[in-house]
A and B are shown apart, each in its own frame.
Chain A
Amino acid sequence: MNGRLDELRGPVPSHPHDARAIAALAANPGCARRALLDAAGVDKDRTARHVGFPAPFGQSQFAITRGNVFEALVKENGCAELLRLLRELLGLPVSEVGYQDVENVGAHLRHSHTRALIDRAARESEETAVFYDHPLFSLEIAGHTSYLEPDVVAFQLGGRFHIVEIKSFGVIDGQAEPQKVAGAARQAAVYVLALRTLLAELGHDPERVSHDVVLVCPENFANRPTATLVDVRKQLAVLRRQLARMTRVDRLLEGIPEGLTFDLAPDRDGVPTRSAQELAEALCQVPARYAPDCLSTCDMCMFCRDEARGNGSTDLLGRQVRDELGGVSGMAEALGLAEGTLEPAEGQEEVARLLRTANLLREECLR
């Protein structure tokens, strides 16, 4: 199977995943195109650019700087701010103040040092640190190891680990933008999963990693951090299912024709040798499941949107509308049913009745 995936990717090294990419996987679990591209480790950003649909996102330099400054503020003086927040939030006792910076051992040893420290913390409760700064986890994604860097791991008395995620979007009046919180929760879920995997490998109980992650954000319009617990159980379940699908990628592979490849082998100037047309045709062989949310998570979003527009697919209208229009194949059919030019087939009567009523209402409004 790995041979088949290598063939899909072509003679370029596999593209590593970061937490954002893994989290984005969980955002749209039904998309075969994304699952296949990720399993094969194809560089989606380059693919999208080559077929002429570069993704419109990527973090702005200002956002990155702002995020780094806020993170430094929360972590300075041995996580002094974070300590105050956790004392308020989790009732951390005053005596628990230990702090270990994993990066002290140098970048090349961070992963093994993280393992050693977490192992020691899980084994003995005495004299362990509360904060592990700059840890480095690994998670196996479809046969390839991805390295992940959570902001901080907190270890509390009572023997539970908490992932701390520091984000620089504001919580105003106790409210934050739901989309951003959801994004942060998905990302944190990846870390929880990685830490659970690590504990299981070390022979400890993986449930010692709490499914509540600590989300630290600036409060109101000041730079003062505030912390909340976010339950990521749902995100974890989605993520697990998606990762399991990737390991069962052979079932996805069955459906695709022989000889298909997303090869991006560059020539001497670094320009991919295949024509964009060919690549686009290859991509179209694998079904995608476009949803408007893809625009904020997936590199291939513009390509898939264009395809969905071309087909007149109901995917464009969002998940909710698409699900309500179940059994209707496209926008043309939906319009036909609404205007009464099409006879509803068996099983479409209910949808057709709703669409006609909606059309009638619209006509009356416009009259």
Chain B
Amino acid sequence: MSESLDALERRITGLRAEVRRAVKARENSLARSLRGDLRRAEKAWDEAISAEEPVPASHEPEPSLLPIREQVHQALALLGVPAAARLVVAVNDAFFSRALRGPQLTSLRRDEERSFRSDPYARPYYLCAALTDRLSPARGLLADSTWEPERRVLGPLSPRVDFLTSTMRVAEHLTRLPDPSPAALRLLSRMAQNIPGAVESFAPADPAIAIRAARAELEVHHAADTRQRAEVAARASSQLSDVERLFGAATMSTLRGAC
């Protein structure tokens, strides 16, 4: 291969000199045809050199055929707990189409609420809000309306519990994949770094160890969190209307009486 490259380089140098001579002699048509030859030789040289070192296939995300809400639903179904938009995008990046972008999610909850208000229960599921202990929508979290109410409400411990649960779900999903992508492993490593005993400093995380560590910490919080969540969920079902149960109550009305 390198011999043909050498030959091509010699030819290119020769052609350049001839072009210069032709231009000096004002032989325009000859110069033009020589330039054509030169271009062809340079192109052949480009091809020969890139054949020696294959260009890695570009990782352009292929546009997904699913609408955005379906893609978000897919990510939420994998995580199994209310999640922030950033985490939804990260999961989509790691396991699915990699076409989801953060700004696309900003008005999602509002659109879903509008759709539910105009035509309740028309869709099989809605992307709704997680409710705080004052029954107001939690900022920035997305949830699935088909989940049981206890999963869609938050106590003070719930952010941590949900984080541990989602780490376990991501790790479990990784073990099922025959050939997990580097992005997925990176996501797990990043999450596992914040769980004690889940990962050795900067080494990539092992799904099995990450699950064990997350479960160990989860056991500490589980009982208290379940109790708090059940209490909030009971309050939500007795005090709120259908729309509010999914999308949260306005803050002013719920603040009276609470605290």
Q: Which residues of A contact B (CB under 8 A)?
A: 72, 76-81, 83-84, 87, 94-95, 97-101, 103-106, 109, 113, 116, 120, 127-129
Chain B residues with a Cβ under 8 A of chain A: 84, 86-87, 132, 134, 136-139, 156-160, 162-163, 166, 191, 193-194, 196, 217, 220-221, 224, 228, 251-252, 255, 259
Given A83-B194, A97-B160, residue A103 in contact with residue B84 (CB < 8 A): no
Given contacts A77-B163, A104-B132, A116-B259, contact A127 B156 (CB under 8 A): yes
Select which of B156, B159, B221, B255 is within 8 A of A105 by beta carbon.
B255
Q: Which residue of A lies closest to B132 (CB)?
A: A104
Assuming A95-B221, A120-B259, what are 8 further A-B pairs, CB within 8 angstroms?
A76-B84, A76-B87, A77-B87, A84-B193, A97-B160, A100-B156, A104-B251, A109-B255
Taking a contact as CB atoms under 8 Å apart, the answer to whether A103 and B139 are in contact is yes
Q: A72-B86, A76-B84, A104-B138 are in contact. Are A98 and B194 (CB under 8 A)?
A: no
Q: Are A109 and B156 in contact (CB under 8 A)?
A: no
Q: A97-B157, A97-B160, A116-B259 are in contact. Are A105 and B136 (CB under 8 A)?
A: yes
CA distance A98 to B220 in the complex (A): 12
Which A residues are CB-close (under 8 A) to B158? 78
Q: Given A77-B191, A127-B156, is A101 in contact with B138 using a C-beta cutoff of 8 Å?
A: yes
A133 to B: closest C-beta gap in Å: 9
Closest 8 pairs between A and B when the two form their complex, measured CB to CB: A78-B159, A98-B156, A97-B160, A80-B194, A99-B159, A77-B163, A106-B251, A129-B156
- B220 close to A94 (CB less than 8 A): yes
A182 to B134, CA, bound (A): 39
- Residues of chain A contacted by B221 (CB below 8 angstroms): 95, 97
* Residues of A contacting B84 in the complex (Cβ-Cβ under 8 angstroms): 76-77
A78 touches B162 (CB 8 A): yes
Known: A84-B194, A94-B196. A105 touches B157 (CB 8 A): no
Q: B156 — nearest CB in chain A belongs to which residue?
A: A98
* Among candidates A77, A99, A109, A120, residue contacting B251 with C-beta atoms closer than 8 Å: A109
> Which of chain B's residues have a CB closer than 8 A to the CB of A120?
259
Q: How far is the CB of A251 from chain B (nearest CB, A)?
A: 43
In the assembled complex, the CB of A224 is this many whole angstroms from the nearest CB of chain B, namely 8
Which of B136, B162, B191, B194 has the most chain A CB within a 10 Å cutoff? B194
- A98 nearest in chain B by CB position: B156
List B contacts of A98 (CB < 8 A).
156-157, 160
Q: Which residue of B lies closest to A73 (CB)?
A: B86
- Distance of A1 Cα from B91 Cα, bound (Å): 61
Report which of A77, A94, A101 forms a contact with B217, defined as CB distance below 8 A. Answer: A94
Residues of B within 8 Å of A101, CB to CB, are 132, 138-139
CB distance from B253 to the nearest CB of A (A): 12
* Chain B residue with the shortest CB-CB distance to A101: B139
The answer for the CA separation of A298 and B254 in the assembled complex, in Å, is 44
B163 CB contacts on chain A under 8 angstroms? 77-78, 80
B162 cross-chain contacts in A, Cβ below 8 A? 78
What B residues does A77 contact at CB under 8 A? 84, 87, 159, 163, 166, 191, 194
Contact call B160/A99, Cβ cutoff below 8 A: yes
Compute how far the CA of A105 lies from the CA of B162 in the bound complex, rounded to whole angstroms.
Answer: 21
How distant is the Cα of A273 from the Cα of B224 in the complex, in angstroms? 64
Q: List 15 A-B contacts (CB under 8 A).
A: A76-B86, A77-B87, A78-B162, A80-B191, A83-B194, A94-B196, A97-B157, A98-B160, A101-B138, A104-B134, A105-B251, A109-B251, A113-B259, A120-B259, A128-B156
Chain A residues lying within 8 Å of B194, measured Cβ to Cβ, are 77, 80-81, 83-84
Interface-centre pick from A72, A83, A120 (highest chain B CB count, 10 A): A83
Bound form: Cα–Cα A78–B252 in Å: 24
Q: Are A83 and B160 in contact (CB under 8 A)?
A: yes
A105 to B255 alpha-carbon distance, docked (Å): 8
What distance in Å separates the Cβ of B158 from its nearest Cβ neighbour in chain A?
8
